[in-house]
Each structure stands twice: as structure tokens, then as C-alpha cells.
Structure 1
């Protein structure tokens, strides 16, 4: 199995609209990818290498600071959106059966004006992160339109459930991830950089600077996902699988430790697209394959698994 590559140029961020013929072609390609693999590489999205590089650079400057400078911006520091902020090393366990993941992250989960942002040595942090958040949001909505078309649905089915991206009424998150150098011999038994998990929301956009991600194939084996410059790696997440009654698949993925003697770092950025907290997700084919659930309730349930109840 390999992850397909699809040219999204006809509906890139630099295009105002897409013709019916182009939409039909994109819909067919994405539908095949999402039913057979769950992942797809998109080329020519309109998001440039330079944009990605700016976010990676400012994120790395933040992560390389001493922990005491990052601590004031910790996740759960903001009452209005507890997922926003910095997550320290080994705090999260995306596979709850493993020790804490050997990564740290910064979640941009809200653009509310009251939120405090890192400054000082990373004074452009807020501007660069929020600008990229908006670019990812726009691309995501275009992808959702193509997905709706592929399922013969009115795009409003998805749009109406994603009205509040960027506010405290929606869980969509731009997550900058940093995997520091690690000595695999000193890691805890079973510890990895990012435990096996599926994503929680509707779709995820991933930007990665190097290889390391592995994706579970339909044959039950993990395969390496290449790092292809200039592409966005896009995958289906849990609530979209529920929404489509398993027509589209949300598959497990992970990041293992580097080989012994390899002390390289890894960076990536993920834009996790979630339905609005109050949006009710029901099977779009009218079946009762999955019980109805709101976007917010499902997200809290999954956070309790990966962070623990406290």
C-alpha cells in the first residue's frame, strides 16, 4: 500500500472557485484515497514552503527556550479554552497503554483576543501562528466541499457544523510539534515519540519536515509515510468516519523512536479540524451505525484518554 498523491491545484487557495468538471475529478480521487487508505498527499494547495517554514522556525524558537519560560503558556492555563497552549514532554499519551510521548507541542486552539501569547525572543509568534491557522482553515473548508461532493451531499452539511473554527465554540487546533533528540537506550520500556492513535475530528492537515510518521495499512502493517516537500498530508479522522458510516476510514498512525545512534530532532505541524462543540454528528446515510454525538462531547472523551482524567 502507498499513500496516493493528488493535485489540488484546480481548487488551491489562489483559485477563486473550481469548475464542475474539476470538482468531479477531485472528488473521485479523494473518495478513492479516503475509502482505501484514509490518507492522501495534496500538491499545489496554495500553502507555500515559505509559509510552512516560518511557522516551523518560530515554533522551534519557542520550544528551545527553558521550560520556565514556556510554563506560563501551558495547556489548561486559559479557562475559555483549556486545550490552548504548551504541552510539555511526556505529558500526553496518545496510546494510553504506553508511557508519555517523547514530544512537546503548542496548541493554537482559540484566536480569542483575551489569550496571552509568547513574546520576547518569539515576538512574532502570535502573528505567524494565527495567520497560518487561517490559511489552514480556508484550505480545510475547500477540502470539506470536495468531500461533500464525493458523497453526493450538500456542502452545507459540513459547513454548518464548522462555523466557529477559531473560536471557543469549536475544537479545531493548529498544533506545532517538536520531537527533541532522544537516546533510545534511555527511553522507558514501550515509550515512543507519538503513540498509536487515530485523530479525533473530521480531517487533519499535516506538514512535516522529515520522515518518521508511520500509517497502519489495510493489511495491518505500519508503513512509512514519506516526507514530500511542498505537499500537505491529509487524513480522515474519527468523527468523519462516524459521519460517513465507515465509508471513509480513520486509521491509526504513530511516530517511533529514531534508530539507535540517531539523535535527530523532528518537527511537524498538524491542523486538526473539528466540528463545532454543539454540532450533532449523525450518520449521513440515515443509518444508526453510530449513536449521535456532539463534537465537543467526543473531544472531551478523547482528551480524557490521552491526558488522563486530571
Structure 2
């Protein structure tokens, strides 16, 4: 069975930084997705396991606790089954998933209401968020080097917390098994979409596949949790993908690839080796990294970006490539309104 051919890159060492940066940029241009080999140096394996354990506790919390933390227009909080519709043009119903979005933490305390069931774990969630944030800064620095941006810390500086608030969130996700929903195998767990921000770090559990990316030819290709050569690693590699904002910022040079999550047994799809649909469902975590909200998305100071002219297929795949200066917050709000129709329609009636 054909699967997505996504490069695996190890960024844990300092040797040949220029080559690692070049490899990252080429993967971001060609695929939009990169496997980052998790050796435990950037994000300890134990921290990932701990975060998944907390996620399971969170989604098993009483419904009234989660409803009291319902998602708001600041994109923080709990969203229940079918609240979010990532592909409104094609989906008959909303996504078959629950999600909880965490905003920033201050002194290990959340800046938003969270269910009492997970209050004892605030420090652990905050620590995991910090690991993800620092990994993103490291990748952004390498992208700056690989693109010969002047200065090379251009992207990193734009994402520093001390420079202002941003739309960055940690999202924990739960996809219930097909047997506990009214869905059919023609439905999707998460509709076809591209991500909103600069980049996403995605964490998955072994045996819980379902993610697919759309090739340049329009074919849906499964993305293994453990690509060849990583099956015996202590943890699956972290899957990093370029978001719309970074693609927009680089004039479409870096690719924001459309992807979705399907049910096991989806029509026309064969299961991957080792894939299972456990009765407990599928869990994943995504860290969506955004620049400081007031950042103006002017052209990136890179000759390669300046000389790139999107055309044909590339322009069609990236509708955000057309230049228009807006802030990071404006870009995010544009996307949120399309995904959370109920949330914004409800507010109109207040």
C-alpha cells in the first residue's frame, strides 16, 4: 500500500547545522511535512507519555466539567463532537472528535478555565507546552538558516513569548471508535484542511494511524505513525508540518499541505501494518505555533523567498500565497471563523 514519503530528519545534534537546515527547508518546500526524529533530547519521551496519560484523564472527565470550559472566540477550551467542521464544503456533519485547546500558562497555571479533574496536572501540561515551544523555536531558527534569511533569527524573534501574546495553543484530541458513533466509513474524523499557524508539532500513539495527506496529484496517502527505520525508536517521531501562515509569509514557497483524519476501514483504504482501532479510540496531541499576534506578515527577507513566484498547481494548492499585508492575529481570525460556524453565529445573536 502506498504511503506518504515524508523525510525523517534528526535535529538533535549540532554537527553540520547548515545541512540539517537545508534538509528541513527542502522537505518543507516539497512535502510540507517532516518527521523529526525524537531522540529525547528536545522532548523527553517520558514527557510525551505523561501528556497522553493526562489527555485520557481529561476526555474521561464528567461532561458537565468539560461543558463549563466550552471553547471561546479566543480559541481556548473544549469543543465536543461535531462542533468543529474543518471541511464545511464537503462534510455532511462536523468532525467526529473532541478537543481541548490550552492557551498560555503562567507560573504553571492555565490562563483559562480547565476541568477540575485535571487541575492537579497543570504543571505537567505547562512543562510539556514549554518543550513544544522550544522545539518550534529551534526548527524556526533552522528554517531561517536554510532560507538564508537576514537576520537568520527572523522567524524565531517573531515567535518569542516575551514580545507579546499569540494564537499558539496545545490541543489534545480524542477520536471515539466508529462503533460508538453514528458515523459511517464514508465520514471523516477530521475534515480535509491545512493548519492555520506557522507550524504544527503532532504527537501520535503507536497503532493509532488515520492521518492522510493529499499529494500534489490529489491522491490521499496514509501517514504512518512510525515510518520505516523508526519502528524501534523509544517514541514515534514528531510529525511537523508547515501551516498556512508560514506558507503565506514565504509567498507560498513553503508548502502548507492539506490533510485529514479518517476512520480505520474507511472506503477505499487498507489498514497499515500494526494499525488498530482500539475500543478506547484514537488520541493525538497537536502544538499549533503562531507568531506574536501583532506581527505584520510582510515579505520574509530572503532572496529565495523574494524570487519565488507561485504559479499553476502550487498557486492552486495555496490560496493564501497572494500577497496582502495582515497581522498574524488577522490571519488566524480569518481561519477560525470558517471552522467554528456555530461559535461565531451564536455570538451574532447576543
Normalised by the size of structure 2, how large is the TM-score? 0.78
* Cα RMSD, aligned residues only: 2.4
Which position in structure 2 is the counterpart of 1:283? 299
Which position in structure 2 is the counterpart of 1:7? 10
Does 1:138 pair with 2:134? yes
Aligned residues: 295
Which position in structure 2 is the counterpart of 1:85? 77
Normalised by the size of structure 1, how large is the TM-score? 0.88
Does 1:75 pair with 2:71? yes
Structure 2 distance, partners of 1:27, 1:110, is 28
Structure 2 distance, partners of 1:173, 1:108, is 5
Deviation at 1:157, TM superposition (A): 1.7
Which position in structure 2 is the counterpart of 1:14? none
Which position in structure 2 is the counterpart of 1:208? 204
- Which stretch has the larger CA shift, 154-163 or 253-262? 253-262
Which 5+ residue runs of structure 2 have no aligned equivalent? 227-234, 267-275, 308-320, 346-350
State the secondary structure of the residue aligned to 2:105.
coil
Moved over 6 A (4+): none
- Given that 2:200 and 2:241 are in contact with CA atoms closer than 8 Å, whether structure 1 keeps it comes out as yes
Structure 2 distance, partners of 1:105, 1:185, is 16
Distance 1:220-1:134 versus aligned 2 partners, 3 A rule: same
Does 1:118 pair with 2:115? yes
Distance 1:55-1:189 versus aligned 2 partners, 3 A rule: closer
- Given that 1:174 and 1:271 are in contact with CA atoms closer than 8 Å, whether structure 2 keeps it comes out as yes
- Which stretch has the larger CA shift, 213-222 or 262-271? 262-271
Structure 1 distance, partners of 2:184, 2:103, is 30
Distance 1:185-1:170 versus aligned 2 partners, 3 A rule: closer
Deviation at 1:180, TM superposition (A): 1.1
C-alpha deviations, 1:223-275, integer Å up to 9, x for none?
A: 11111233110011111111111211000000012227956411111010111
Alignment partner for residue 289 of structure 2, among 260, 267, 273? 273
State the secondary structure of the residue aligned to 2:264.
coil
Deviation at 1:184, TM superposition (A): 8.7
Alignment partner for residue 51 of structure 2, among 48, 55, 60? 55
Which position in structure 2 is the counterpart of 1:302? 335
- Given that 1:89 and 1:104 are in contact with CA atoms closer than 8 Å, whether structure 2 keeps it comes out as yes
- Given that 2:166 and 2:291 are in contact with CA atoms closer than 8 Å, whether structure 1 keeps it comes out as yes
Does 1:104 pair with 2:98? yes
Which position in structure 2 is the counterpart of 1:38? 32
- Given that 1:165 and 1:276 are in contact with CA atoms closer than 8 Å, whether structure 2 keeps it comes out as no
Which position in structure 1 is the counterpart of 2:271? none
Deviation at 1:289, TM superposition (A): 4.2
C-alpha deviations, 1:153-173, integer Å up to 9, x for none?
A: 123321232123897x20011
C-alpha deviations, 1:162-210, integer Å up to 9, x for none?
A: 123897x200111011111223983279631000000011111000112
Alignment partner for residue 220 of structure 1, among 203, 218, 221? 218
Deviation at 1:49, TM superposition (A): 2.4
